[in-house]
Structure 1
Amino acid sequence: MIAADQIPVTVLTGFLGSGKTTVLNHLLRQPELGGVVAIINEFGEVALDHLLVESSEDRLAVLNNGCICCSVREDLIETLADLASRRADGTIPPFHRVLVETTGLADPVPVLHTLMTAPDVVARYRIDGVVATVDAVNGTHTLAAHGEAIRQIAVADRLLVTKTDLAAEDALARLEVQLAAINPVATRTKVRNGIVDPAKVLDAGLFDPGARSADVVRWFDLASQAANASHDHGDHHCVSEACGHHSHHAHDAGVSSYSLIIDEPIQREAIARWLDYVAALKGEDLLRFKAIVHVAEQPDAPMVVHGVQHVFHPPITLVDWPSADRRSRLVFIVRGIPRQIIENTLCKFAAVSRAAIQRSAA
């Protein structure tokens, strides 16, 4: 379960040239960033001089809107520990949220692993969500040429499609299809000139869904749509410019997404056993996993599970179901893992009957 005093952390990622720094510069000017720590790569890339800095020192600045801006130290664990210590002793203003910027070439998965597994970090912080910027002008080419860009999109909870005012309509339409193919359950927001509502970045709440029933309902709907689309079109695996049924050679060894709906309760111990097996067998290629599970022991309180490769966030139990539909939803974004393997492991290790597994919503 999530402790009430854990500070939510949002990870902002995006490939080189995707407009991430422009979005960050806009965000840092907003009053909503008061009480937020922004951990950035380099001060030189962000226009702090124009933000009327109240106080500053090496690696850290307090902006006039109350946002605390600091550059990352040797590693993220040290930076987060230092911030928590300063917060506790009052040497920096209190903060209630953290925004972490990754480098353009970085795979965000190690950052997520740190936030989910490092004891000193987990004691004080929790993941709120992952937001990725995508360039509407060059996004299709970037996805075809760079596996890192695909992984950034695959692990995201929200996508900011930037430079939409500069992109041709047909290019933007192709990109939207590609993004839906890679990550069908991430919400997408079109951005112009880096201007975005801070709530679209900071207020994901995706690892604390018990407090946001509307978001859970939305996730239900997207999972059902993904199941329908994968049933009609085959597993999503299109990132080439044509987005045909073939897989592009630079497609990061075949990233695909699919959704399963299970029409029977699952024992808590069985789902835990299955998760352990999948993580051990295919964890490296399980880029992102999300599930809302009908647990047999608690039929009125569904369990939410998130995973990134080998690491799973502690399960969260909701107070009740956000809709009348009580079927389990499982969404997978994977690299080279056929759907049939997942179905087989569910039957063998989670004791799910094959007849209960649906590939599309009823």
Structure 2
Amino acid sequence: MTDAQDLDIPTEPLPASVLTGFLGSGKTTLLRHLLSHPEMDETAVVINEFGEIGLDHHLVAEATEDMVLMNAGCLCCTIRGDLVETLRSLYRRRITREIPPFRRLVIETTGLADPAPILQTLMSDPLLVERFRLDGVITTVDAANGEVTLDAQIESVKQAAMADRLLLTKCDLVDQDRIDALTQRLAQLNPAAPILQVENGKTEPSSLFGCGLYDPASKSLDVQRWLKAEAYEHDEGHGHEHHHDVNRHDERVRSFCVTYDVPLDWDRLNAWVDMLITLYGQQILRIKGILCIAGEEKPLVIHAVQHVFHPPVELPSWPDDDHRSRIVFIVRDLPESLFQETIRSFNEE
């Protein structure tokens, strides 16, 4: 039995990032280059592959004790239960010094994965919540095939809509007009996520990680990068119209920001969010918000994925002079008016 004094227990939950993207979009190439960067030395990787025989771990690098391959199924469904046990085991081996003391976790999903159940698992399993915090979702999009994939595969739409960072790969294979068209489409699908172009998977880790609502290391809010409320505002006279092909899947997925100018009552806000999640949880892909709560000087951050509401986090201070409550929703087949009207009915006398 390991002596308690020999345990290396982190003082804060370790940041966990989900790397997703449709088949062939360059996830493994990106991961291979990331792991060669000095900043990634203390990173544990969980790789999921679809099928009986796994290959990606050989393509990334030589498998080490802190690289875990999960195969024989899709991470988000068939072996979802194994994800919990794998992460628990990985953490246990870390604190008992059986493997190097990693400081970050990256989960690479299969290209067919719906990211929502993975995020739910990270946010809802009691033991995982104590040990890991969801840092963000990084999604690769193939510039050469991205438009066609978004048209044909709902999974790719959800992967892009739920991202905190969108990475355009294979830009060297297409002309600038196609890159611009895809960039515009992704920006309309997910206005808050920065869109970065990467060449042969090469990018700086600092541009991808630290996506989370709160970074304990720096005690600062990454609000400028993940919550761009102005990106959701519609120019007067343009309404909510988007000039897309109506057959595109992402016409069903929308992003918008609900703002509230006066401090919110916490109990009423809880009742409102509970109602939304109970009635429309499957259609609410993600919720992120920074809130001004009545009687509180410091802002509160909320984060939810479908039916799972992450415990709120109080921030040390407001990131800027704008103290309005701002809540970003990414939804499927739900009108923005539903959220605008119900928040008023729940919070106004």
TM range (shorter): 0.7 to 0.9
After superposition, residues 26-45 of structure 1 pair within 5 angstroms as 26-42=33-49, 44-45=55-56
Q: Unpaired segments of 5 or more residues in structure 1?
A: 54-59, 63-67, 239-243, 354-362
Deviation (angstroms), 1:152: 0.5
- In 2, the alpha carbon distance for the partners of 1:214 and 1:315 equals 14
- In 1, the alpha carbon distance for the partners of 2:218 and 2:299 equals 14
Does residue 166 in structure 1 map to residue 188 in structure 2?
no
Q: Which residue of 1 aligns with 2:285?
A: 287
Does residue 264 in structure 1 map to residue 262 in structure 2?
yes
Alignment partner for residue 20 of structure 1, among 24, 27, 32? 27
- The 3-state SS of whatever aligns with 2:229 is helix
Deviation (angstroms), 1:28: 1.9
- In 2, the alpha carbon distance for the partners of 1:276 and 1:210 equals 31
Deviation (angstroms), 1:107: 0.2
Q: Which residue of 2 aligns with 1:65?
A: none
Q: Which residue of 2 aligns with 1:183?
A: 190
Given that residues 13 and 102 in structure 1 are in contact (C-alpha distance below 8 angstroms), is that contact kept between their aligned partners in structure 2?
yes
Given that residues 115 and 125 in structure 1 are in contact (C-alpha distance below 8 angstroms), is that contact kept between their aligned partners in structure 2?
yes
Residues 48-84 of structure 1 deviation map (CA, whole Å, 9 limit, x = unaligned): 5x84x5xxxxxx515xxxxx32212751101101111
User: Partner amino acid for 1:247?
Assistant: V
- The 3-state SS of whatever aligns with 2:106 is strand
Deviation (angstroms), 1:267: 0.8
Given that residues 155 and 308 in structure 1 are in contact (C-alpha distance below 8 angstroms), is that contact kept between their aligned partners in structure 2?
no
Q: Which residue of 2 aligns with 1:241?
A: none
Q: Which residue of 1 aligns with 2:328?
A: 331
Size of the aligned set, in residue pairs, is 327
- In 2, the alpha carbon distance for the partners of 1:228 and 1:253 equals 16
After superposition, residues 220-235 of structure 1 pair within 5 angstroms as 220=227, 222-228=228-234, 233-235=238-240
- The 3-state SS of whatever aligns with 2:173 is coil
Does residue 305 in structure 1 map to residue 302 in structure 2?
yes
Q: Which residue of 1 aligns with 2:112?
A: 105
Alignment partner for residue 69 of structure 1, among 67, 70, 75? 67
How does the TM-score come out when normalised to structure 2? 0.87
Moved more, 303-312 or 3-12: 3-12
- The 3-state SS of whatever aligns with 1:313 is strand
Residues 275-309 of structure 1 deviation map (CA, whole Å, 9 limit, x = unaligned): 101100111100111111111121x3111111111
- The 3-state SS of whatever aligns with 1:123 is helix
What is the aligned-residue identity percentage?
43
Deviation (angstroms), 1:208: 3.9
- In 2, the alpha carbon distance for the partners of 1:12 and 1:274 equals 31
Alignment partner for residue 317 of structure 1, among 311, 314, 319? 314
Q: Which residue of 1 aligns with 2:149?
A: 142
Let me know the Cα RMSD of the aligned residues. 2.3
- The 3-state SS of whatever aligns with 1:165 is helix
- In 1, the alpha carbon distance for the partners of 2:163 and 2:112 equals 15
How does the TM-score come out when normalised to structure 1? 0.84
User: Partner amino acid for 1:227?
Assistant: E
- The 3-state SS of whatever aligns with 1:305 is strand
